[in-house]
Amino acid sequence: MSHHRQAAVAIVGGSGFIGSNLADSLMSDGKPVLVIDNLSRPGVEQNLQWLAQKHGNLLAVERADVRDAKAMMSALAAAKAIFHLAAQTAVTTSLADPAEDLDVNVRGTFHVLEAGGRVGAPVIFASTNKVYGALPQIAVRQARDHYEPCDDDIRANGVGEDVGLDFCTPYGCSKGAADQYVLDYAKSYGLSTAVLRMSCIYGPRQFGTEDQGWVAHFLLSALAGRPITIYGDGLQVRDILHVNDAVAAYRGVLARIDDLKGQAFNLGGGPRNAVSLRALVAEIASMTGENIALHYDRGRTGDQPFFVADTRKIEAALGWQAKFSWRDGLRDLAAWLRQHRLAPGLEAARYVA
């Protein structure tokens, strides 16, 4: 594994789920990649090993923490473009330790922006639909096994970028503040930046815990014969997006960053890939043949009854569309999990909180 810093494209948080898939996509096209990561999450070393074995000297690695300003300046000194994916990603963790959440997500993003500004490198930031808050202004009604908006346009197209920011929970606040800093660096300093506000991304190399990566967590639990806890009534709806489609969007934004700088885009599976938690569990049970034990617990702070991204803005900007249907994507992830997380000799429990 190379440890020098000659790569043209830097991925901060590049050993994680989305980062490692993005790195693989870029290097598969012959583009050198610098992965910057503090390697704090259990299991991410395996993603780096996979990338190194597959791509050799196209991969450079720098172990550094976004909270360390000097380390970011040094690590990103040769970057020509930056994908910023490093974050504290769990709402529950942010509620338990809001100070660390703020430090990683706000101060860390500031350090990346400052380093990007120093070398004039575009910065594309991984934001979240949580910047829209719990969306109490969107009235919903129950329809069989899911909630649906009462508003005809939202029901047909999803929630647009114009719904308005309404930070809720420390995680929502920290990611939202970082989101706004990234956009402001385009306005105030002319840096080429863009923000992708993601819905639920899933796919191979996802670790899957109760707090983050719930699609993989549900699948892992079912395949391992463990019960699944649903927080709330399970009628909550999300538009899930396969990681390959997410990677295509990130790369598309970078390719057109001069035209798209200073803009935020919703990124999700859209109405065609909208599914409730109950419906997803039912599909997993049907697909795996497992009898899944379900437990229900009280809903979580800031949980949105319905979030489906209106992706028309990014579709128009890039000509991008989600290619994986959620059922096909679920089967793709299940096959990967069986081979890489549940194969004989692997300790599946170490990947699941």
CB atoms within 10 A of CB 229: 13
Nearest CA to 76 among 20, 25, 22, 8? 8
Is-catalytic flag, 189? no
**DSSP reduced 3-state for 340:** helix
Cβ(121)–Cβ(152) under 8 Å?
Answer: no
Cβ(180)–Cβ(131) under 8 Å?
Answer: no
Cβ(194)–Cβ(259) under 8 Å?
Answer: no
Q: Which residue has the tokens 């989101």?
A: 179
Cβ(211)–Cβ(353) under 8 Å?
Answer: yes
**Catalytic position from the list 132, 171, 181, 202:** 171
Compute the distance between CA of residue 22 and CA of residue 338 in angstroms, rounded to an integer: 22
Compute the distance between CA of residue 85 and CA of residue 17 in angstroms, rounded to an integer: 10
Tokens representing residue 29 in the block: 């096209």
Tokens representing residue 143 in the block: 């329809």
Compute the distance between CA of residue 88 and CA of residue 67 in angstroms, rounded to an integer: 12
What strands lie across the sheet with 9-12, from one edge to the other?
59-63, 33-37, 9-12, 81-84, 123-128, 193-198, 263-267
Cβ(276)–Cβ(142) under 8 Å?
Answer: no
Cβ(348)–Cβ(341) under 8 Å?
Answer: yes
Q: Which residues are catalytic?
A: 171
